[in-house]
């Protein structure tokens, strides 16, 4: 009996000591892997095995030398079942990151810091390419599965994240590549182990139809364009070079991976498991110094201007290793990754972890001041690239952070929206309620002529507000204009658009010699749409001054005029001018509403130096 009691007690103790707890999402902690300081960062997408749900996005901060495992998980702890099952591709484009999660049948769309923005559901999706404001995604199945088991390439609008077009290609398309107005997709035929596909589909982006198929060799999996637009296709019969839509040359090397930088194509030879290099000019093999013969399974590869990154996937079911080499063969550093580190993507910004998740105790105290800048897209202007200052390597995300430094949390700085249309989008750490009377104040740099109430420096900006209706924390919901005093003026033009191009950025005034076109924007042109107010400038005693507008515009009245800088959410109207009643708002957008430029003073541009929730003050 005693024995029985003892055993019972023991088992009771055992259970008490090793109880199941909550499943905690722990934020990643950076591991310092190198003292080397470089620009930007490197994302590492680890595939994880099918069914394990262990696709993992790691981040190497090349500036601090710290490697962050499970960066995505830390940035997005609220994502149900994390990043997903089998990561297959990652690319940065237009201020965002896109990751293909193959067995979760989705493309995950993130900001440059890997914070979730949205997702595009595409069945069995494989690889990405971009052009203009469209993303292209190859997928093993189309939206309608066919008995021939042909795959598709989908076109996705990067603004709405909606599929706009689809084209059927060959069997199990893998990598895709865009040269000019043509998209090339390799048809791997990976489902047919004994008789693979051997073609590359050629798709004209205009009509989005397959115009021809080029036979390249069995089981093509990778396709990359070199500097001169020649395509390198890795097949089981070696590398096929495509020029002018036909195979002009073959290189006798079977490559499991390829990365082209400058005039050199680096490959991982799938037979010898060694790194090899070929000239993209004369296709001869180049001497190279990096020795990867000690790898268990070389896998991911990325050649950059200064270093080359190669991963070792080990036995596929345990952590891999990311190695960084100089081209002289010297290993700079290595870091332990997740399972099957397959896909690498270098970005210009170097990010710190989002504070929300690292802080063990986030006792929230709401601030009356804005806390976050979501978008900063100025139109061309003399203060653009200055307020805030653009530095080499900054991307849109980095510029938003600089705006935050200037104007968020009552910082007292100022940013400039440039000419007509240029805008900024910001928010608070809470939802702003629409109560009786004014709800918001927006600060700028307007001032009055001394001794005059009617004229001064007014560079009016139209204010838009939005509610986070889809609850994703991002300003991608419907916008409502706060109706200002000139809204119903017949001279006000609604629904106007204007395009600025990099080419047209030629005029400089003597005080501002920097480029006026926003330098972090990769696209060659930017188009803005919105309302255009009639000119307000008058020449009074040789000075260009503006008539101060009655109400409802940012940067119109001086900050000392509390009422004149305040706004009521009840002014909101929809696109048709119908009044809407919003109980609260989450985002505010301001854009320059006038299009006037004068010699000497340059263009009128709205400046913003902060905003305040009047109910919190």
Partner 1 sequence: MALSAHSVIAESETERDSLYSDFRIEEVEVTARSLTKDIIVPQRLKGAELERLNALSVADALRYFSGVQLKDYGGVGGIKTINVRSMGSQHTAVYYNGVQLGNAQNGQVDLGRFSLDNMEEIQLFNGQKSDIFQSAREFGAAGNVYLTTRKPYFKPGERAHVHGKMRFGSFGLANPNVGFDVKLTETMSLTFDAEYVYSNGKYPFRYRRVLPNGETAYDTTAVRQNGDVNAVRAELGIHHYYRTTGFWRVHAYNYYSERGVPGAIVNNVWRNGERLWDRNTFVQAQWQDEWFGRWSTRLLTKYANDYTHYKNNDVRLLPADNEYTQQEVYLSLANKVQVFNWWDFSVAYDFQFNDLHRCNLLSDTVPEYFKRYSHWLSAATAFNIKEYLRIQASVLMTAVDNNKPRVTPGLFLSFRPYPVIDLSLNVFYKQSYRYPTFNDLYYTDLGNANLRPELARQHSIEVAYRKATKMYDIAVTASYYYNRVTDKIIAYPKGQQFRWTMLNLGEVKIHGMDAKADMSFNLPLRFVLRGRLNYTYQKAIDVTNPNDTYYCHQIPYIPWHSGSVVVGLDWQSKRGDHYGLNYSFIYVGERYSQQENIIYNYVQPWYTHDMSIYGEWGIKRWWLKANLEINNMLGQDYEVIQNYPMPKQNIRCTLAVRY
Q: Which of these segments, 203-211, 335-343, 412-420, 500-508, binds partner 1 (CB under 8 A)?
A: 335-343
Q: How far is the CB of 353 from partner 1 (least distance, A)?
A: 13
Q: How many CA atoms lie within 13 A of 330 on its CB side?
A: 4
What is the β-pairing status of strands 264-269 and 275-279? antiparallel
Nearer to partner 1, 77 or 94 (CB): 77
Matching residue, tokens 């893998």: 174
Q: Is 240 in the site for partner 1 (CB under 8 A)?
A: no
Q: Does 237 bind partner 1 (CB under 8 A)?
A: no
The smaller minimum CB distance to partner 1, of residues 80 and 491, is found at 80
Can you read off the two tokens belonging to residue 119? Answer: 């997702």
Stretch that binds partner 1, among 199-207, 314-322, 401-409, 488-496 (CB under 8 A): 314-322
- Near partner 1 by CB under 8 A: residue from 38, 54, 112, 557: 54
Residue among 16, 51, 328, 510 that touches partner 1 (CB under 8 A): 51
312 binds partner 1 (CB under 8 A): no
> Which span (49-57, 175-183, 488-496, 602-610) binds partner 1, by CB under 8 A?
49-57
Q: Name the pairing type of β-strands 440-443 and 610-613.
A: antiparallel
Helix or strand holding residue 94 (H, E): none
Residue numbers 130-159 binding partner 1 by CB under 8 A? 140-141, 145, 149
Closer CB to partner 1, 43 or 500, in the complex: 43
CA atoms within 13 A on the CB side of 323: 23
How many residues of this chain bind partner 1 (CB under 8 A)?
74
Choose which of 94, 118, 123, 238 interacts with partner 1 (CB under 8 A): 123
Report the site for partner 1 in 243-262 (rule: CB under 8 A). Answer: 256
Stretch that binds partner 1, among 8-16, 345-353, 476-484, 603-611 (CB under 8 A): 8-16
Distances, alpha carbon 141 to alpha carbons 150, 188, 190, 332, 529, in Å? 6, 13, 12, 41, 37
Q: Determine whether 340 is exposed, middle or buried from the number of CB atoms within 10 Å of its CB (0-12, 13-18, 19+).
A: buried
Which of these segments, 266-274, 448-456, 567-575, 604-612, binds partner 1 (CB under 8 A)? 266-274
Q: Is 317 in the site for partner 1 (CB under 8 A)?
A: yes
- Alpha-carbon torsion 239, 244, 247, 252, what sign? negative
* Dist. CA 469–CA 478, nearest whole Å: 8
H-helix or E-strand spanning residue 498: strand 493-501
CB of 192 to partner 1, least distance (A): 9
Phi, psi of 8 (to 5 degrees): -60, -45
- Applying the rule CB under 8 A, the residues between 278 and 297 that interact with partner 1 are 297
Least distance (Å) between residue 15 CB and partner 1: 6
The residue range among 81-89, 224-232, 488-496, 581-589 that interacts with partner 1, by the rule CB under 8 A, is: 81-89
Yes or no: say if 138 and 89 are a contact pair by the CB < 8 Å rule: no
> Closest separation between CB of residue 496 and partner 1, Å?
41
Of residues 403 through 442, those in contact with partner 1 by CB under 8 A are none
Q: Enter the tokens of residue 83.
A: 């990043």
Sheet (strand 372-377) strand order = 372-377, 423-433, 584-592, 461-466, 479-482, 572-573
Interface pick for partner 1 out of 270, 279, 367, 519 (rule CB under 8 A): 270
Check if the beta carbon of residue 598 is closer than 8 Å to that of residue 459.
no
Contact status: 224 vs partner 1 (CB under 8 A): no
C-alpha–C-alpha distance, residues 95 and 398, integer Å: 9
| Distance (Å, whole) CA 523 – CA 501 | 9
Taking Cα atoms as reference points, which of 164, 159, 186, 160 lies closest to residue 175?
Answer: 186
Structure tokens at 116: 């979730």
Contact positions with partner 1 (CB under 8 A) in 336-375: 336, 338-339, 357, 359-362
3-state secondary structure of 200: strand
Tell me how far apart the alpha carbons of residues 591 and 530 are, in angstroms, rounded to a whole number: 8
Q: Which of 105/402 has CB closer to partner 1? A: 105
Q: Judged by CB under 8 A, does residue 19 bind partner 1? A: yes
Residue with smaller CB distance to partner 1, 119 or 556: 119
- How near is the Cβ of 271 to partner 1 at its closest, in Å? 7
Between 1 and 491, whose beta carbon lies closer to partner 1? 1
Stretch that binds partner 1, among 119-127, 129-137, 383-391, 550-558 (CB under 8 A): 119-127
Q: Considering beta carbons, is residue 338 or 602 the nearer one to partner 1?
A: 338
Choose which of 38, 168, 314, 402 interacts with partner 1 (CB under 8 A).
314
Query: Segment 172-211, which members bind partner 1 (CB under 8 A)?
Result: 190-191, 193
Exposure class string for 153-181: b at 16+ Cβ within 10 A, else e: bbbbebeebebebbbbbbbbbbbbbbeee
Per rule CB under 8 A, is residue 549 in the interface with partner 1?
no
């Amino acid at each position: 009996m005693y024995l029985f009691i003892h055993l019972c007690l023991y088992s009771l103790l055992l259970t008490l000591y090793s109880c199941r707890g909550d499943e905690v999402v722990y934020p990643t902690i950076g591991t310092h892997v190198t003292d080397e300081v470089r620009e930007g960062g490197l994302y590492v997408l680890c595939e994880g095995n099918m069914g394990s749900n262990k696709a993992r996005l790691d981040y190497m901060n090349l500036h601090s030398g710290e490697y962050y495992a499970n960066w995505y998980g830390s940035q997005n702890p609220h994502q149900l079942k994390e990043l997903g099952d089998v990561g297959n591709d990652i690319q940065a484009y237009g201020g965002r990151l896109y990751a293909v999660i193959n067995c979760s049948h989705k493309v995950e769309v993130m900001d440059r810091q890997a914070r979730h923005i949205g997702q595009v559901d595409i069945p069995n999706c494989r690889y990405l390419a971009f052009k203009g404001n469209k993303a292209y995604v190859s997928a093993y199945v189309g939206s309608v599965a066919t008995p021939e088991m042909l795959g598709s390439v989908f076109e996705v609008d990067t603004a709405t994240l909606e599929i706009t077009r689809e084209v059927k290609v060959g069997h199990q398309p893998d990598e895709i590549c865009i040269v000019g107005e043509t998209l090339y997709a390799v048809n791997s035929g990976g489902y047919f182990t004994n008789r693979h596909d051997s073609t590359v589909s050629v798709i004209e982006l205009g009509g989005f139809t397959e115009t021809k198929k080029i036979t390249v060799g069995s089981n093509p999996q990778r396709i990359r364009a070199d500097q001169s637009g020649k395509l390198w296709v890795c097949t089981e019969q070696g590398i096929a070079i495509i020029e002018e839509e036909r195979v002009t040359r073959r290189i006798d090397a079977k490559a499991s991976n390829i990365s082209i930088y400058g005039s050199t194509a680096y490959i991982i030879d799938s037979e010898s498991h060694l790194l090899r290099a070929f000239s993209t000019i004369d296709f001869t093999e180049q001497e190279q110094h990096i020795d990867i013969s000690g790898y268990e399974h070389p896998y991911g590869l990325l050649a950059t201007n200064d270093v080359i990154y190669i991963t070792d996937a080990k036995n596929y079911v345990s952590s891999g290793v990311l190695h960084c080499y100089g081209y002289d063969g010297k290993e700079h550093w290595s870091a332990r990754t997740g399972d099957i580190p397959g896909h690498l993507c270098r970005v210009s910004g170097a990010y710190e972890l989002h504070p929300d998740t690292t802080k063990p105790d986030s006792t929230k105290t709401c601030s009356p001041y804005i806390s976050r800048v979501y978008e900063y897209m100025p139109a061309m202007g003399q203060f653009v690239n200055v307020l805030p200052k653009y530095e080499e390597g900054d991307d849109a995300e980095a510029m938003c952070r600089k705006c935050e430094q200037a104007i968020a949390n009552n910082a007292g700085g100022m940013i400039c929206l440039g000419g007509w249309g240029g805008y900024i989008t910001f928010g608070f750490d809470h939802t702003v309620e629409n109560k009786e009377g004014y709800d918001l104040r927006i600060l700028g740099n307007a001032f009055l002529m001394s001794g005059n109430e009617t004229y001064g420096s007014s560079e009016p900006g139209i204010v838009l507000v939005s509610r986070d209706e889809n609850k994703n924390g991002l300003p991608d919901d419907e916008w409502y204009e706060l109706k200002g005093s000139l809204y119903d003026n017949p001279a006000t033009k609604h629904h106007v658009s204007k395009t600025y191009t990099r080419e047209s950025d030629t005029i400089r005034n003597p005080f501002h010699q920097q480029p006026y076109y926003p330098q972090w924007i990769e696209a060659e042109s930017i188009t803005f749409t919105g309302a255009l107010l009639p000119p307000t400038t008058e020449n009074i005693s040789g000075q260009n001054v503006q008539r101060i507008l009655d109400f409802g515009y940012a940067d119109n009245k001086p900050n000392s005029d509390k009422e004149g800088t305040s706004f009521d959410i009840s002014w909101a109207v929809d696109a048709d001018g119908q009044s809407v009643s919003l109980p609260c708002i989450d985002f505010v957008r301001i854009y320059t509403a006038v299009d006037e430029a004068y010699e000497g003073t340059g263009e009128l541009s709205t400046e913003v130096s902060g905003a305040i929730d009047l109910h919190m003050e």
